[in-house]
Structure 1
């Protein structure tokens, strides 16, 4: 059990990440493959990756153990930039990581060359990382962003209504938050960590696959990061477009349910934008949005000559779909949804 102790200064500096971290997603996805962990609903992603897989990508598995992850693999928007950033990012800390990995289980020739600072091995590392990014991350980047943004919105609402105590207490089913101590099931023996006034960065991740990951605790000038899995069904990563849960469709009807999920997933939309997302006319989108607003599930706000629609806090608390759920919310009250369904 790992115990992280917070001071008042730590609590003041603890924050929620502003966006998805693609470098973490890449490393976590590789670790899931390298250790043959359960994919947590990512079976279709694994199947699609298999069709694009290059055998030499397996060399990246040499950098992992069951519990250790290399933090020096770096994702950039462009693959060439990824290759350069990763090749150039293997600093002394990265080489020390590889040396420690060698003491744990020995190193392959590739990992041994990296630990020694060999230039050709570093260039190869950059190329391998860029190739893996192109196959495993880039095709799903928008969906990863979407799922993480939905989680960040629900945490923001939770922070506004329940404070940081509620956020920390509901990060993961196995997390315990009590008396300024966050207890995590991450170590076979009791270990305590002092944040030293740095606070903690809370980073949700799609490829965390049901587990918690800590990073940056040993770097005194960096803010430690706690990576936690987003809740809900990771099969949503494979969706081409927002699909509402069947129960919600049965209650509201297909178009209204899709409108609600689209607003939750993509944020506030104009009537024209909502119509385009749903594949209906602006008049039809306006009609359905008006019914949802009348039931208290969405709001309408005029901005100049445009009407903007957005979901309400009531919607966040009332749904179990991870794209628009306030995490840890109460069981849904059917009143508002039923009112929309009857119109």
Structure 2
């Protein structure tokens, strides 16, 4: 469970996302490649993706985006301002965050690419390689369907706006059941089978482990139960806005 504590000032700043987030959509599309999903909803996209996808991009991105965890640096808040801003923020990720996220990735288990140690140390060429793969994957499989994503966001905004007008901010927060429940002053997310939210709530449940030396490959399966709930203030955008979307993303209904 993820707990988000709101101050009165936070509640005043709640907003609904105006556009789909290009980096979230890119990451979620990788999950959708692993899980087919309903053919009616995703069949056309999947047929396109399998033709257009760059295998070299997958070789970089798939080891980072796993069912149990993927690094937070792949989805910086700056991407809400558009793809160029998101890619630049990814390229400028602080070394401390790269190290922390990659350690969590190793702790989650699974094969570790030989270049992960370089990424953890902030090697700019390796970071740029990841950023280029993200951009290339977006261009190949997400951008052709961007109009669909924007239409879904607009429909969601209209629906949530009616709730906000009728029931206020607290009614808006309550409207995200069952994915999220609201009991002032705290919002709690709840695992939904197969959802990205459920998988990401496991991210702090793994032991921090050391990365393998450069050129080595290793698998770590060591895990421990830990406090999965956290105060999310540290991951909210700097302007303290909370961007709320539920079904309104192209690949997020996993």
TM-score interval w.r.t. the shorter chain?
A: 0.5 to 0.7
1:66 CA drift (Å):
2.4
How is 1:156-175 mapped onto 2 (pairs within 5 angstroms)?
A: 156-175=161-180
1:147 CA drift (Å):
1.3
> Is contact 1:62–1:111 with CA below 8 Å preserved after alignment?
no
Cα RMSD of the aligned pairs, angstroms, is 3.4
Residue 66 of structure 2 is matched in structure 1 by 65
The 1:9–1:223 alpha-carbon spacing in structure 2 relative to 1, beyond 3 Å, is closer
Residue 155 of structure 2 is matched in structure 1 by 150
The 1:39–1:90 alpha-carbon spacing in structure 2 relative to 1, beyond 3 Å, is farther
Residue 229 of structure 1 is matched in structure 2 by 246
Comparing 108-117 with 156-165, greater Cα deviation is found at 108-117
For residues 38 and 172 of structure 1, the distance between their equivalents in structure 2, rounded to whole angstroms, comes to: 25
TM-score by length of 1: 0.52
The 1:25–1:223 alpha-carbon spacing in structure 2 relative to 1, beyond 3 Å, is farther
Residue 39 of structure 1 is matched in structure 2 by 37
Q: Deviations over 1:35-91 (max 9, x none)?
A: x2453532321121001112112220111232333343476978xx58962662332
Q: Deviations over 1:160-205 (max 9, x none)?
A: 1121122111224342223433221144787554466xxxxxxxxx
Q: Of the two, which has the highest radius of gyration?
A: 1
For residues 239 and 63 of structure 2, the distance between their equivalents in structure 1, rounded to whole angstroms, comes to: 27
Residue 107 of structure 2 is matched in structure 1 by 103
> Is contact 2:30–2:62 with CA below 8 Å preserved after alignment?
yes
> Is contact 1:159–1:167 with CA below 8 Å preserved after alignment?
yes
The 1:4–1:55 alpha-carbon spacing in structure 2 relative to 1, beyond 3 Å, is same
Residue 28 of structure 2 is matched in structure 1 by 28
Residue 140 of structure 1 is matched in structure 2 by 145
Aligned length: 210
Residue 215 of structure 2 is matched in structure 1 by none
For residues 71 and 122 of structure 2, the distance between their equivalents in structure 1, rounded to whole angstroms, comes to: 15
> Is contact 2:14–2:242 with CA below 8 Å preserved after alignment?
no
TM-score by length of 2: 0.67
Residue 126 of structure 1 is matched in structure 2 by 131
Residue 207 of structure 2 is matched in structure 1 by none
For residues 168 and 84 of structure 1, the distance between their equivalents in structure 2, rounded to whole angstroms, comes to: 30
Any gaps of 5 or more consecutive residues in structure 1? 197-214, 236-343
Residue 249 of structure 1 is matched in structure 2 by none
Residue 305 of structure 1 is matched in structure 2 by none
1:97 CA drift (Å):
0.8
For residues 14 and 127 of structure 1, the distance between their equivalents in structure 2, rounded to whole angstroms, comes to: 32
Q: Deviations over 1:263-289 (max 9, x none)?
A: xxxxxxxxxxxxxxxxxxxxxxxxxxx
Residue 9 of structure 2 is matched in structure 1 by 9
Q: Deviations over 1:6-31 (max 9, x none)?
A: 33233222222232221221122223
Q: Deviations over 1:243-264 (max 9, x none)?
A: xxxxxxxxxxxxxxxxxxxxxx
For residues 86 and 174 of structure 1, the distance between their equivalents in structure 2, rounded to whole angstroms, comes to: 28
